[in-house]
Chain A
Amino acid sequence: MKERIVADVSRLSLHGTGSASTTWWGTLGFMLIEATGFALAIAVYLYLMSIAATWPTDAPTPDLLPGTLVTLTLIASVLPNYLVSQWAEREDLRKVRIGLVVMSILGIVPLIIRAFEFYALKVNWDTNAYGSIVWILLGLHTTHIITDLADTLVLAALMYTRHGRNRRRLGDVQDNAMYWNFVVVTWLPIYGCIYWIPRL
Chain B
Amino acid sequence: MRDGETKRDIRDTDLDRPALEAALARIWNTPEGLWGALATVDHKIIGRRYVITAFVFLALGGVLAMLMRLQLAQPEARVLGPDRYNQIFTMHGSNMMFLFAVPVMEAVGVYLVPLMVGTRNIAFPRLNAFSYWIFLAGGALLWISFVLDMGPDVGWFAYVPLSGPQYGFGKRADIWAQMITFTELSALAVSVEIVVTILKQRAPGMSLDKIPLFVWSMLVTSFVVIMAMPAIMIASSTLILDRLVGTHLFNPAESGDVLLWQHLFWFFGHPEVYIIFLPAVGMVSTMTATFARRPVFGYLAMVMALIATGILAFGLWVHHMFVTGLPRLGESFFTASSMAIAIPAGVQIFCWLATLWDGKPIFKTPLLFVIGFIVTFVIGGLTGVMVASVPFDTQVHDTYFVVAHFHYVLIGGAVFPLLGAIYYWFPKITGRMMSESLGRWAFWLIFIGFNMTFFPMHLLGLQGMPRRIYTYQPDMPWHDLNLFVSVSSLILVAGFLLFFFDAIRSARRGLPAGDDPWDAPTLEWATSSPPPSFNFSYIPVVKAANPLWEQPDVLAVAGGLRINSRELIISTVASAEPEAREASPRNSIWPFVAALATTVMLISSIFTPWAVVWGSIPIVVALIGWFWPKGTPEDES
B-contacting residues of A (Cβ < 8 Å)? 1-16, 19-22, 25-26, 29-30, 32-34, 36-37, 40-41, 44, 47-48, 51-53, 57, 125-133, 135-136, 150, 154, 158, 163, 166-169
Contacts and interface: CB of A to CB of B under 8 A. Distances in A.
B631 to A, nearest CB: 8
B226 A32 contact: yes
Interface of B: 2-5, 11, 13, 123-124, 188, 191-193, 195-196, 199-201, 204, 226-227, 229-231, 233-234, 238, 241-242, 245-249, 251, 254-257, 260, 263-264, 267, 515, 526, 537-539, 541, 553-561, 569-570, 573, 578-583, 620, 624, 627-629, 635-637
A30 B188 CA distance: 9
B254 A128 contact: yes
B207 to A, nearest CB: 15
B241 A132 contact: yes
A12 B196 contact: no
A22 B251 contact: no
B541 A6 contact: yes
Contact of A6 (B2, B229, B556): B556
A135 B247 contact: yes
Q: Is chain A's binding surface mostly helix, strand, loop or mixed?
A: helix
Contacts of A150: 620
- 8 A-B pairs with least C-beta separation: A10-B560, A16-B580, A132-B247, A29-B192, A129-B256, A126-B246, A37-B230, A7-B558
Contacts of B201: 22
15 contacts: A6-B556, A7-B558, A9-B558, A15-B583, A20-B570, A21-B582, A25-B199, A33-B229, A44-B249, A44-B264, A47-B263, A48-B249, A126-B245, A126-B248, A132-B238
Q: Is chain B's binding surface mostly helix, strand, loop or mixed?
A: mixed
B578 A9 contact: yes
A44 B242 CA distance: 14
Contact of B234 (A32, A37, A125): A37
Given A6-B557, A12-B560, A13-B580, 19 more contacts: A2-B554, A4-B554, A4-B555, A4-B556, A8-B559, A9-B204, A9-B539, A9-B569, A9-B581, A22-B123, A25-B200, A26-B123, A32-B226, A32-B227, A36-B226, A47-B260, A158-B629, A168-B583, A168-B635
A163 B11 CA distance: 25
A5 B257 contact: no
A10 B515 contact: no
A116 to B, nearest CB: 19
A48 B259 CA distance: 11
A194 B246 CA distance: 20
Contact of A5 (B229, B559, B628): B559
Contacts of B579: 12-13, 16, 20
Contacts of A29: 191-192, 195-196, 226
B578 A12 contact: yes
A40 B229 CA distance: 11
Contacts of B123: 22, 25-26
B196 A25 contact: yes
B557 A3 contact: yes
A41 B263 contact: no
Contacts of A19: 573
Nearest to B11: A10
Nearest to B13: A5
Given A36-B227, A128-B254, A7 B248 contact: no
Given A4-B557, A40-B230, A12 B580 contact: yes
Given A15-B580, A125-B246, A26 B231 contact: no
Contact of A3 (B4, B260, B555, B569): B555
A103 B582 CA distance: 29
B245 A125 contact: yes
B39 to A, nearest CB: 21
Contacts of A30: 192
A155 to B, nearest CB: 9
Contacts of B246: 125-126
B578 to A, nearest CB: 5
A3 B637 contact: no
B587 to A, nearest CB: 18
B526 to A, nearest CB: 6
A25 B515 CA distance: 33
A130 B230 CA distance: 21
B231 A129 contact: no
Nearest to A29: B192
Nearest to A10: B560
Contacts of A126: 245-248
**Most chain A CB neighbours (cut-off 10 Å) among B192, B561, B573:** B192
A3 B124 contact: no
